[in-house]
Chains A and B, each alone.
Chain A
Amino acid sequence: MALLEVHDLAFRFPRAEKLVLDGVSFSVERGERVAILSPNAGGKTTLARWLAGLLPDGVLKAERGHVSMDGKDWTEWHIAERSSAIQYVGQVPSQQMTGCAFTVFEEIAFGPCNLALPEAEVRARVDEAMTVCNLRHLVDRDPFTLSGGEQQRLSIAAALAMKPQVLILDEPTSNLDPESRDDLLAQLELLPGELTIVVLEVALRPSLALADRFLLLDEGRIAVDGPAIDVLTHPRCIETLGMTAITEAGRRIQNAGGWAEGRPLPLTLADALQTLQVPDAVR
């Protein structure tokens, strides 16, 4: 049984004409690193929230289909169970803050405290998360005074402190300057190997750094599903993402035969950038 399964999911916002998601189906296995590529306004955030079990919510319901983890529909999960199974980090750094923690420590401890874990366990979790995300020196800072990059590291730390099996990253670097983005990506590469990661992106660079399997979300459906080279060279990908540079890069790899079968993925960030020679403007 797949760890995370999306089954024929169709969704529209109330009073909206167009379906945001129109029959999305795919599954994610334990330990996989998946990138879902999609143009802006292509339904990434909506899909991310469905994957993370944050939808359905009130009047926001599926037209058809559902998302399940470990074979159980998200609607059947208790909030405490679900938050220990999956975590979500979104785009805008300041919006990822809980908004009720006075310090970095409290921000990371917020989730574990809500689980009513023993104090020692909470401390151990916060400690570990701060180490992984390199936040020790900021422990007493007010989260809202941190830089965007620091806030994103903080929200990933807070997510990790919940000890999830799956981490959903919705364009985690899109609001960061190039330097903070690279720092964050380097940090993400250090995440524990057993963690299943799904990253939803419009940009190629973070996807390449993190994922070994690529999906293209196009017009509310999954158009392509496979290794990087399949998606990169797929005409719809090039069209929808509108990044000619990628086409170029993709072709180059293909022509050179340098990234054909047998070449292990994921690449490291440096590796990917070098191979692709992705210009900075492309992200």
Chain B
Amino acid sequence: MASGSKQEAGKQSLLFTPGESLLHKANPLTSLVIMLWMISAAAVLPTAGTAILVLAAITVSMATGVGKRSVKRLLITMTPIGVALIVVHGLLIERPDQTDLGLVAISPDGLDYALKVFMRVAAMLMATLLFVTTTHPSEMLKALDQRGVPPGVGYLVASPLLLIEPFSDRAKAIRDAQRVRGLDLTGSWKARIIALPILLMPLITLALSDLDQRASILSGRAFRAFPRRTVINAPHDSTFQVWFRRILVAVAVLQLGIPLLWHF
């Protein structure tokens, strides 16, 4: 009997995409450290560096089978940011190198800066996406359990992840039901303000109504009886991964720290 197949367990609302790649198989802590290292690198690298980082991350995501989802999410998030950056830095902020093009004045320096920020955010985003698309939250929580992180901490992250989807579905059901009854969800300002409590209140009440019962259930199941719980199917770890993580953490700290020292 195995509870291994996460295929069925993979919830729709999660960005996690099942797979067999190295990143999928890596200990969740290793994936987490890789993400943190990438974020720290993105914070200090020049534009060319972050651009390479983004390309590398996209390549890795393609190779691990999570490419489609990651890139889609990347585009959805970065397109409006990109447009806003070009407008704000390329056109609006007054810089000495602004060249007048008739209707608008464009600043190459501003565009450079916009590109820099864009690539930095994109690299950080890709780092996060690589982590969340290849690491199932339950594996991450097991890894934390294994490390002796208090069960309460795990609960606080796991429970919302599990409850969001049923509640989102419920929100949509309420919205549709109210729409059928003639509630105006797209009309005037006033109409939408009136719609707000009608949609919101039942969901809030529902979310809170579980409180007493769930407290009973958790207490009945010996939740937090001991500081550590048994971990079933603990994620695989190895000496190599342990050392890899240590080195990567050290590098991450150094690459953030050295430029800081430089400034002083």
Do chains A and B directly touch (beta carbons under 8 Å) in the complex? yes
Whether A80 pairs with B226 at a CB distance below 8 angstroms is: yes
Contacts of B159 in A (CB 8 A): 99-100
**Across the interface, do A116 and B3 meet the contact criterion of CB distance under 8 Å?**
no
Report the Cα distance A158→B214, complex, angstroms.
14
Stretch at the interface among B109-117, B150-158, B248-256: B150-158
Contacts of B25 in A (CB 8 A): none
Interface centre among B1, B213, B216, B220 (most CB of A within 10 A): B220
- Tell me, rounded to whole Å, the shortest Cβ–Cβ distance linking A99 to chain B: 5
Contact A90 B213 (CB under 8 A): yes
B231: Cβ under 8 A from any A Cβ = yes
**Chain A residues in 8 Å Cβ range of B6:** 140
- The answer to whether B232 and A114 have CB atoms under 8 Å apart is no
B3 → chain A closest CB, angstroms: 4
Q: What mask results when residues 114 to 142 of chain B are scored 1 for a CB within 8 Å of chain A, else 0?
A: 00000000000000000000001110000
Which residue of B1, B9, B217 is within 8 Å of A102 (Cβ)?
Answer: B9
Q: Do A140 and B226 touch across chains, with their CB atoms under 8 A apart? A: no
What is the bound-complex CA distance between A99 and B155, given in angstroms? 8
**What interface size band does chain A fall in?**
35 or more
Given A99-B163, A113-B231, A119-B232, does the pair A83, B213 have CB atoms closer than 8 Å?
A: no
Q: How far is the CB of A197 from chain B (nearest CB, A)?
A: 15
List the A side residues contacting B94 at CB < 8 Å.
none
Tell yes or no: A204 within 8 A of B by CB. Answer: no
> What separation, in Å, do the CA atoms of A100 and B166 have in the docked complex?
13
Q: Is the interface of B mostly helix, strand, loop or mixed?
A: helix
User: Least Cβ distance of A133 to chain B in Å?
Assistant: 15
Check if A122 sits within 8 Å of B232, measured CB to CB. Answer: yes
- Does B221 belong to the interface (CB within 8 Å)? yes
Known: A98-B214, A99-B214. A88 touches B226 (CB 8 A): no
In the bound complex, residues from chain A placing their C-beta under 8 Å from that of B216 are 49, 52, 54, 88, 90
Q: How far is the CB of B148 from chain A (nearest CB, A)?
A: 12
In the complex, the 4 A-B pairs of residues with the closest C-beta atoms, listed nearest first: A111-B221, A105-B3, A95-B213, A80-B225
10 further A-B contacts with Cβ under 8 Å, apart from A88-B216, A114-B226, A115-B226, are: A79-B224, A90-B216, A95-B214, A102-B138, A113-B231, A114-B221, A116-B225, A116-B230, A140-B3, A144-B166
Chain B contact residues, CB within 8 Å of chain A? 1, 3, 5-9, 11, 136-138, 151, 154-155, 158-159, 162-163, 165-166, 209-210, 213-226, 228-232
Binding site for B on A (CB under 8 A): 49, 52, 54, 57, 78-80, 83-84, 86-88, 90, 92, 94-103, 105-106, 109-119, 122-123, 126-127, 139-144, 155, 158-159, 162
Q: What are 11 A-B pairs at a CB distance below 8 A?
A: A54-B219, A80-B222, A90-B213, A90-B217, A102-B9, A115-B230, A127-B1, A140-B8, A143-B162, A144-B163, A144-B165
